[in-house]
A and B are shown apart, each in its own frame.
Chain A
Amino acid sequence: MLNDERSAWLEEMMERWEESLLRMCYAYLGDIALAEDALQETFLKAWRGYASFRGNASEKTWIMRIAINTCKDIRRGAWFRHINPIIALEQLPEAYQPFTIKDDAVTLAVMRLKPPLREVVLLHWYQGLTGTETAEALGISRSTVFHRLQKSQKLLQIELEDWYYEN
């Protein structure tokens, strides 16, 4: 593999996935600096693992698996601090797109889910992986993915009741 080809591939990967991965890592970790670390680590792992990637899985599933596992590693790490998502969201730089209070509530509710539920919500609902791809990315069964989604659905409905049941 020529280095310039590999280099171009990395550029394309970053162009395609940088934004959604950064947001997913932030929603999982609740901290910009950690999300930046996770994003950087994800692309560097992809760079190192390019040879093993080819032909083995869809690019999206592969990069999402790397990203979510990197986030999980950081979360397990000794330096991870447990984040209050309300404060974390308040401290984000000013959003480029206008958002409503409801957008804030939805994001907050997702960030408040327990990690096993947050993982499947972020991969399946936010990133659009299929149930099978989500299962592959997390190393769990497809049934488990859907169970967690159902549980998340119930919890989000409780958390967001005012928005979804009174409007």
Chain B
Amino acid sequence: MRIDEKEIKDAMNRRLSSLDSSINRRDRIHQLAMKEEEPIMKKKVTAGLVFAIVAVLALTGAALALGVNLFEYFSERDARYAQIAPQAELATQSPITIASQPLGTTNATIQNAYYDGKSLLVGYSIENSTRIEAFAPTDAQLANMQLDDTISIPGVDIQSDVLTEYYESVKNGTPFGYVLYSVYPSDHTETDDGFDLPPMTETEEVSSSGARYVIREYENPLPQEVQDRDELNIQIRLWQSISYHYFDGTDYYFLTDRNEADAMTANIKRADEQEKQFEGSGAYNGIAVSANASASSVHASLTITGNADSFQPLAEDSWYYVVLMDESGNSLMCSGVDASEPDTLTATFEGTGKTPGQLTAYILICSEGDWDEQAAMEEASPIELVVKK
């Protein structure tokens, strides 16, 4: 049974109905527009150290719960992770311990990483990364806080009676505040020779013990400069942040600041699994086409070239769809197709976790509504690709 799109929209609108229009908000935006002011990003405010941030002591080499293979941990969510888990073991790990007064001991490390010359996936963990406490400012402190226009929700995963009390106080119009201490990773991952690796997505879970387990994936293929190396040395900086939030019964106030705490580092050896190049030929709509592909255990890309009539623009409700299978009949999950040129079709895929030895591609045309993929497959001509010699 297909999930109804309208049902999704209606469900979201009911669930998010507290997020509604506001005359005050519109007035504020209007005033900003009229003044041609740049918008204020609240979380970028660095208001000075009205409240001193506690000293951070970074100790490398301290003990951390090692041995957790995060690719195995997340294998139920993504079959690729299960397959590449053995190759994602690091020869050595470099755990970081950050000792600070509010948090105590925070442990962070890059646990595992997979690099095959074109793709990179990094698994890291941070234990004891947040703490929240009730907070009541003095008059002097309140004078240094900034007026906020809406209730603030912590941008970290934390469940706390203090937060519950804060929301209750807001609802009841009584004063209450909290302070949140956190250690979190930068979105930037840097190589030791200065390349900033573009992240694509993260899969995250908070364990019952409060540890954050994350697999960060990067754009594929990686930037040319970091492809095909024997090893990669990377670092992900850690930040320590302290943010104060106070509701005085009428208005919201906040103050936030951060400093760099340390960096998680890893030396990642290139995996034995290597990307392979494929070539092949076949026909599409009776026209001969040639095909080239590159495929690794985690990623594949395919280019099919025909003539000027091969890939004509389709009606509004139709689109090109490419099925790509390995020699065992496993489908690679398609992540994008581009048929904007009439003689060329390109497609990208997630790998299966194993580098294929042979590929078979089918070009299909899908339509919105009921569409039978199996029937379309049976009518399509296979395009066989073998490893380039």
Contact = CB atoms under 8 A, between A and B. Distances in A.
A23 B201 contact: no
B376 interface: no
B32 A44 contact: yes
Closest A-B pairs by Cβ, 10 of them: A81-B155, A143-B337, A84-B157, A97-B17, A144-B336, A106-B11, A99-B14, A103-B11, A107-B15, A47-B33
Contacts of B13: 23, 97
A98 interface: yes
Given A32-B150, A40-B39, A106 B15 contact: yes
A162 interface: no
Question: Chain A at the B interface: mostly helix, strand, loop or mixed?
Answer: helix
13 contacts: A3-B34, A23-B13, A33-B152, A82-B204, A99-B15, A106-B8, A114-B203, A126-B12, A151-B333, A151-B335, A156-B8, A157-B1, A160-B3
B14 A34 contact: no
Interface string B26-39: 10111011101011
Find the residue from B2, B11, B184, B366 having the highest chain A CB count within 10 A: B11
Nearest to A157: B3
Interface in B155-169: 155-159, 163, 167
B14 A37 contact: no
A103 B188 CA distance: 35
B184 A43 contact: no
Contacts of A87: 157-159
Question: Chain B at the A interface: mostly helix, strand, loop or mixed?
Answer: mixed
Contacts of A115: 201
B246 to A, nearest CB: 15
Contacts of A41: 39, 41
B17 A40 contact: no
B156 A81 contact: yes
A142 B319 contact: yes
B41 A23 contact: no
B202 A82 contact: yes
Contacts of B42: 33, 37
A19 B12 contact: no
Contact of B17 (A76, A84, A99, A100): A99
Contacts of B150: 32-33, 36
Nearest to A141: B338
Contacts of B199: 76
B153 interface: yes
B47 interface: no
Contacts of A94: 18, 171
Interface in B27-83: 28-30, 32-34, 36, 38-39, 41-44
Contacts of B182: 81
A101 to B, nearest CB: 10
B140 interface: no
Nearest to B258: A79
Interface string A26-65: 1100011111110111011001100000000000000000
Contacts of A100: 14
Contacts of B378: none
B288 interface: no
A160 to B, nearest CB: 7
A19 B34 CA distance: 22
Contacts of B44: 79
A145 B336 CA distance: 8
B338 A143 contact: yes
Contacts of B156: 81
